[in-house]
Chain A
Amino acid sequence: GQNIDQPTEMTATEGAIVQINCTYQTSGFNGLFWYQQHAGEAPTFLSYNVLDGLEEKGRFSSFLSRSKGYSYLLLKELQMKDSASYLCAVRGGRDDKIIFGKGTRLHILP
């Protein structure tokens, strides 16, 4: 089966950097996604990592280590609008499904 772990909540300060970790177990790994979700809204796609390494996209970067079953999302120059839940999701398994972690709620303090 598939299992995904990420912290339930984190707090950071405006202008700072925060790293949200995700560990996973799956058979037949086909990629890892990160999504941002504001309260009451649908998840918004942030990144998709298939190969090991760091992918940078503006203020957001995502890292993957397949051998360790580990990923992180790095948010730089935090803004108040970054207050949201961040969902880690893994694609894989027998049916090539995408399974989601329960999300990390990020609070940004002024």
Chain B
Amino acid sequence: DVKVTQSSRYLVKRTGEKVFLECVQDMDHENMFWYRQDPGLGLRLIYFSYDVKMKEKGDIPEGYSVSREKKERFSLILESASTNQTSMYLCASRSRTGQFFGPGTRLTVL
């Protein structure tokens, strides 16, 4: 079974803090993704990566950056957290036949 893990299930940060969300997959997938999910807006793609050290902007990259130093790890960075970044963050890893999500991190920015 594919296993995608995220570093925290719940996180509370203050406005202006730098926030790191970590995602690790154990299936040697090349493709990894970061989404956020908000009521009424659905899942929106923030950034994705198709290989180590490669990154591409998704639909809502503003205020975020990513790092892919190793194949199994894809990190999402909020350089200076703001209250409108309070959301559920979901990491996903993709093979030829499916895309699989981690358990999600619910981030609250105060």
Query: Of all chain A residues, which has the CB nearest B95?
Result: A48
Interface residues on A, range: 10 to 19
Residue of B44, B56, B58, B101 touching A42 (CB-CB under 8 A): B101
**In the complex, are the beta carbons of B103 and A100 less than 8 A apart?**
no
Q: Known contacts A95-B56, A97-B58, A98-B33: does B98 contact A45 (CB below 8 Å)?
A: yes
Interface residues on B, range: 20 to 34
| Interface of A: prevailing SS | strand
Q: Is A102 an interface residue (CB 8 A)?
A: yes
Report the number of A-B residue pairs with Cβ-Cβ less than 8 Å. Answer: 46
A-B contact pairs, 16 of them (CB 8 A): A41-B103, A42-B102, A42-B103, A43-B43, A48-B98, A87-B42, A95-B48, A97-B45, A97-B58, A98-B99, A99-B59, A100-B35, A100-B42, A100-B43, A102-B41, A103-B42
Give the B-binding residues of A (Cβ under 8 A). Answer: 33, 35, 41-45, 48, 87, 89, 91, 95, 97-103
